[in-house]
Every structure is written in C-alpha cells, then in structure tokens.
Structure 1
Amino acid sequence: MSSESPLKIIYQDENFFAIDKPSGFFVHPPELSPYPVPKERICLWHLRKMFRKDVFPVHRLDAPTSGIVLFAMSRQDARELNFLFAERRMHKTYHAVVRGFVPASGSIDLPLEVDEGQSIVEAQTVFRSLAQVELPYAVGKKYPTSRYSLVQAHPVTGRWHQIRRHFDRIAHPLLGDIEHGDSHHNRFFRDTLNIKGLCLKATKIEMESPWNGQRVVIEAPACDKWNQIHELFSWKPPT
C-alpha cells in the first residue's frame, strides 16, 4: 500500500479494517454538498487506490470529526458489521471539548430531528467528565473567565450530528463546531489557544467479532491536536 496516503490504517484482518480519519476528510462523496469536494479529500478514493479493489464503509463520521472509521472487505462483511450497529453491540467512544462545566456524568435523552424538516426520533448520549479547566479570559464578555470540560461520550443511538446537537441542546456546545457551537469560544480556541477545528474525536470501538466471537478493541493513536488538548486540561489518557 502507498506510503503517500494521508489515511492511517490502525487495524486490519481478513474481513474489515479501521482507519484514523483526519479532520476535513469525507468518508465517501457527499450527496448534498453545495460545492464540489476534491477526490483527495474522500477516504474511499484513497482506500480503493491503496487496496486496488472496492472496500465498503460500515459507518461514517462527519467531515470535521476525526478518529476511527470501519471499512469492510466485502458487501457481506459490511452487512455483518452493520448488524452489530443495528443491535447496539458496537460500542463507540468519543472525546470532545465542550463549553462550561458539565456534571461528573450523565445521560442526554433528547429526541432529535432525523434531518431538516423531517420526523423526530429518540436519541441518547451517555457521558462523563474527564477534566475541567477555567481560563482567565472573558471570552463572551458575560463572565470574567471561561470554563471548559473534556468529556467522554458514548452515543447509544446513532443520529446525524448526535453528540454535537445533544451537547448544544444542554447549553454545552462543542468547541470548533461552526454549525451548532459558540462562535466567540470557537474563535478563542482557534486564534488564542491555536486549537483549530472541531474538538470531537472517535477514540475507541469495542465489539465481539461476528466471525470468530473474539473481543476486538480498536483505539485511535495520539495526535498533536489532542495532545495539546490533553495538556490544556492537565489530563493524561489511561495506559
């Protein structure tokens, strides 16, 4: 496989593999994008070049979100993994930075729109606070300081922009979220702290293999951006 690809494969067996998707990349060509997306920004284009065959996305992450994405080696393999998602036997962990201090743990049970103007469906996100920081900056000019939480989130359901919308609905929007977030705090993170883009990463996937029954745990590797975030919060991932 080419060493020039921007995509890093972090797990692989005969049925499927996982990549660490960088922020700014689409899993597949977007259907409703108002502007053309260069093929170099599409994961499937790179992966089909690397493997010299069709591979099949099992799920997707929003373009601004980084982290683990699974791809199957065949349509049948993709169906097996999609069944685990449908049965909620695929456990996903995300890390995010949100505005304000959140409770030590909690569950956000708020229905969400399937899409603009469409029906409302149940949605649940379980979370816990990993660390908090208060900085001596009056970002929004409402308070003399600014507060942030590093959270670990588990989406029980899998709705569009679920984590982003859920935390926004409880007044703790994600940092760097230009669609659902706070523009003042986004600018502060980008320009003052030099932490750019959406602060949301898919960090772990756990499941039981549908082929051999063995437990599979896939973790995203460290990166400069999230090392910087961990340093800001004086938090170290458990070893």
Structure 2
Amino acid sequence: MWSVRTPPPLPVRHGVGPTRLRIPVSGPWTTIAEYMVSRFAHLDPDELFRRIDAGEIVGDDGRPIDRHTTPGSHDFVWYHRQLPDERPVPYQETIVFADDDLVVVDKPHFLPTTPSGRYLRETALVRLRVRLGNPDITPVHRLDRPTAGLVMFTARPGMRGAYQSLFEQRRVTKVYEAVSALPVGWDPDSGTLHGQPMPLVRRDHLHSPGGPQRTVIRPGLEPNAETVVDVLGHGTSATGRPVLHTLLRLRTGKLHQLRVQLAALAIPILGDRRYPELLPEAADDDSLPLQLLARELEFTGPVSGEIRRFRSRRTLSEVPVGV
C-alpha cells in the first residue's frame, strides 16, 4: 500500500503552499528567531519579528512560535512566503483530463511545473490550484521549465503516493519527441547514427550534484538511466534548419536524462542552453524553445485498474516539414 504524507500545519494560500525551514539543534543562536535573522540576512529583522509576533510562523505542531522559542523545541518551522511582484509567463497550460483523483496538463515551454527560484505564482501547480479552486492539487512528477508536454497532478490527499508508485516502479510508459541539428553521423540509407543502427538503447550512470551544477555521465559505473532512441525523420524545418527528429522512450526518469544522453550521442537538442555546453543565462527565446516534448503517458490506473493513455496536443516548432 502506498504511503500518505502528513499534511503541513499551514494551509495553501492563493494557490501557494507553505514553506518549511529546518531548524538546527545547535549553533551560535539561542532562539529560533535569532537563527532566522541570521539565515535570512537579506531581510529586515524588524519585519521578521513582526511576522513572528503576528503568529505567522508556526512549529511542527501548528502553534505559533514567539521570540523566545528555542531551537530544540521544533525540527522545522513553517510560514507563507510573501508573494513578490512576478512577471506573468505569457504561455497557457491546457487541461487534457481531470477527475476526482487526477489532473493531466499539457504544459507549454517556459512554464515551471512547481515553484522554484523566481517563479512562484507563475507555475503550472499554482495556476491549477487557483483555476480549479483546489488547494490539494499536488504534482506526481515534474518537467523542466524549458520542456513542453504532459504532466500529472493528483487532485486529492492520499492519491499522490499511489501515482508516484507507478513512476517509482516503472509502470508508466513515457514517450518523448526531440529535434536536433542534423548530424554528419546520420546515414538515412542504412538507418544508422554514427555507425549505430537505430533504434538504439542508451544506458548510462547519471550523477546530479544538485544546485546549479549539471548532470554528468560517470563512465564505468552501473547504469541507472536507460532510454530507447529512434529516428522519426530528418529534413528541413520551417525555419530552414537541417534537423533530425527523434522518438525517445524512457525506462527511467533521472534529472535531465534525455538532454544529457542525446548530447552524449552528439545530437544535442536544439534550444538547449545547458547541454552539452552551459551557456550564459539569457531571456527565454520564443523563436527557439527547447525542442523536447513529453508526448505520451500510459499506465494502469492504481484505483480503477483501467488503462489510461494521454497524448500531448503540442508540436515542436523545428520538426522537419514535408516529411
């Protein structure tokens, strides 16, 4: 049986869930308030004390802390982030399915799945909670912000574990499409890429250090990422680029798996500013979004036992035309 996560002690507000902060047991501070002042040195201490005095910061038990609450009394504190002025993301998600248990969204390029960094309200999760009036909506998995396509969310408490188990047990069929610059190693007559017949199975050991560092392949270690790569076609895109159009079937789901593995095959995805080369941060480029699409999801419903199939209605802008 799947596990049920203990809900946070504060409710969702304006579609945004509360933030949890771990409190160290020891350090050069005698109160949680002192720790938070040192932890958030960029904030005005008076504003932090005001929020504590107003009861806006609570412990694990849901009761407000005060200026004298000691670190050993709580492992975590919870609070609502103050909503910043946030530039709207001018791309709209599409709901392709919704019932009492599940919501499936067709996400556009450049829209984050969940709050991260400078994105809070302008995310698929927060938009859905507000749009559907359901604070219990929770992501089952995620897509990178630059990636378009299908993302699943649960609609009520207690269902997230059931659907996450499908991914953990590799019982979800995931199909992607990608477009790369046409490599010199593609031979359409023999159907080989750099001498390898297609389709091919790419197995690697991927390591994600976290933070701003990129996912890397560690040769010689037991593979933990597997993708079946096939070619759908090649030709010229509408913008005049010679391109290779690939179909990708994931058997695992590591961070940036497809982006890393296609770069390692010398067919990096068009529009990728991270792999194989980390480029300087730049504004989103509408003319060339990352050419990666989460096209299909298929699984057996954990409650109904029915086979569910979903397909994205989006297309990649750089697919070869007239093929």
Scaled to the shorter chain, the TM-score interval is 0.7 to 0.9
Structure 2: runs of 5+ lacking an equivalent: 1-89, 187-192, 280-284
* TM-score normalised by structure 1 residue count: 0.77
2:318 aligned to 225, 229, 236, which one?
229
CA drift of 1:51 comes to 1.5
- Rounded to whole Å, the distance in 2 between the matches of 1:182 and 1:148 is 19
**1:140-219 correspondence to structure 2 within 5 Å:** 147-181=242-276, 195-219=287-311
Aligned partner of 2:102 among 8, 13, 16: 16
Trace 1:83-162 onto structure 2 (pairs within 5 A). 83-99=165-181, 100=183, 101=186, 102=193, 103-116=197-210, 122-133=224-235, 147-162=242-257
Structure 1: gaps of 5 or more residues:
136-145, 185-189
Distance 2:115 2:120 in 1: 9
Give distance in 1, aligned partners of 2:267 and 2:313.
Answer: 26
Cα deviation, residue 171, structure 1? 1.3
Cα separation, partners in 2 of 1:53 and 1:59, compared to 1, 3 Å = same
Amino acid corresponding to residue 291 of structure 2 in structure 1? C
Query: What is the distance in 1 between the residues matched to 2:274 and 2:98?
Result: 34
For 1:51, give the aligned amino acid: L
Say if 1:175 and 1:182, in contact at 8 Å, map to a contact too: no
Contact 2:176–2:292 at 8 Å: present in 1 too? yes
Residue in 1 aligned with 2:48?
Answer: none
Return the TM-score normalized by structure 2: 0.58
Cα distance in structure 2, aligned partners of 1:152 and 1:93: 7
Instruction: For CA contacts below 8 A with separation 6 or more, give which structure has more relative contact order.
Output: 1
Corresponding residue of 1:47: 128
Residue 172 of structure 1: how far off its partner (Å): 1.2
- Which residue of structure 2 aligns with residue 67 of structure 1? 149
Q: CA deviation at 1:5?
A: 8.7
Residues paired across the two proteins, number: 207
2:140 to 58, 67, 72: 58
CA RMSD of aligned residues (A): 2.9
Distance 2:293 2:235 in 1: 19
